[in-house]
Amino acid sequence: MKKLVPALMALMLFVAHFEVEAKRMGGGKSFGRQSSNVTQREATPPAAPAAPTQNAAAARPGSPAAAAPAAAPKRPWGAMLGGLAAGLGLAWLASSLGLGEGFGQVLMLLLFAMAAFALFRMLRGRGKPAAASPFAFQGAGAGAPSSAPVAREYSPDKVGNDASARPWERSSLAFDAQRAAGGGSIIGSALSGSQNWGVPQGFDTAGFLEAAKRNFITLQSAWDRADIATLRSMMTDGMVDEIRGQLAEREAQRGDQPNHTDVVMLEAQLLGIEELGDAYMASVEFSGMIREEPSASPSPFREVWNMTKPASGQSGWLVAGVQALQ
């Protein structure tokens, strides 16, 4: 019994060490600046779908009748076997009537020829590709008109704390710090009134999210390498202090062992942008699959990154907080 207790304690320490080791940036926890709008959004249950009313079609005059069930698919094999059975029956009947074996053989040859022709047509029809429907899924960009607008790409290498690091400010439609005629910023005027959390009209959401996903992967890699310079260029000072503490804890637990986070699948959704007096905060929900150990299977994750930007436009968007959702 005396030897069992130290062994169990050692096992618990090993498991705790493994848990600290197998975590992405932030460890799946909430830290930094939080958004009350995100909290309320998660606390509000989704609206339940309305229950279908019985005899709704009968209650509405002039409603179209229910569609007839689809016809059963044709089975050429069944028709072929039926024809052969009928042929055998006719051959037997001809023999019974005294028409002779020759007539029965001729009849059988004709039936076999018809069966072979039917089989040939069936195989030929299967070999032909089906005609493409104009509404069928054709893949990304297939059949797109040449006059369709092309989203502008952002430069992930221009993200930082200096005034020129604004990857989402290269368009007058983007979420920038340009002043409107009334004296307020474009974002402030778009979010004024009862709407305190949303996406301003004309905001380049697609380009914003593409840059956000690239930055997500870049920051995970910087976390693995403990690259403080890269982390500082894309985070607020408060977030950098939080990450420093997490890196120190990781180093104390595992020493110099390498850390690797593999982002297997990544999706991003811009939940909303809110005004915080002297700054704006954009909340982006990231979800997907992440592998935190080379020998482990990827696991799902879901979290919100809150990115802030001064209303004065002195810097670009910087990660200010993480809110764990899963």
Do 110 and 235 share a domain, yes or no?
no
Question: Quick one: 180 and 317 in the same domain?
Answer: yes
CA-wise closest residue to 301 among 21, 23, 20, 15: 23
Residue 51 lies in a domain: no
Structurally, how many domains does the chain consist of? 2
Tokens for 279, please give them. Answer: 């700054």
Asked whether residue 159 falls in the same domain as residue 232, the answer is yes
| CATH label of the domain that carries residue 309 | 3.10.450.240
pLDDT at 108: 73
- 298, part of any domain: yes
pLDDT value for 30: 93
Tell me, yes or no, whether 260 lies in a domain: yes
Separation CA 32–CA 46 (nearest Å): 27
Assess if residue 162 is contained within a domain.
yes
Which residue numbers in the chain have pLDDT < 70? 1-22, 45-95, 97-101, 103-104, 107, 121-195, 326
What pLDDT was estimated at residue 214?
Answer: 97
**pLDDT (tens digit, 9 = 90+) per residue, 31-51?**
999 999 998 888 876 665 555
Residue 137 covered by a domain: no
Same domain, 89 and 177: no
Q: Is 31 helix (H, G, I), strand (E, B) or coil?
A: strand
* pLDDT number for residue 145: 38
Same domain, 307 and 233: yes
Q: Which residues pair with 299 in a beta bridge?
A: 290
CA torsion angle 165 222 304 203 (round to 10): 30
Same domain, 173 and 308: yes
Do both 254 and 301 map to the same domain? yes
Q: Quick one: CA dihedral 135, 141, 142, 148, positive or negative? A: positive
- Domain of 238? 18-41+153-324
Other C-beta atoms closer than 10 Å to the C-beta of 226 total: 15
Which of 203, 227, 228, 149 has the alpha carbon at shortest distance from 317? 203
107 and 217 part of one domain:
no
Question: Are 24 and 109 contained in the same domain?
Answer: no
Q: What is the pLDDT of residue 243?
A: 96
What is residue 294's predicted lDDT score, i.e. its pLDDT?
85
Q: Are residues 163 and 213 in the same domain?
A: yes
- Please report the pLDDT score of residue 67 as a whole number: 52
Residue 118: inside a domain, yes or no? yes
Residue 6 placed within a domain? no
Contacts of 275 (CB under 8 A, 6+ apart): 187, 188, 191, 196, 311
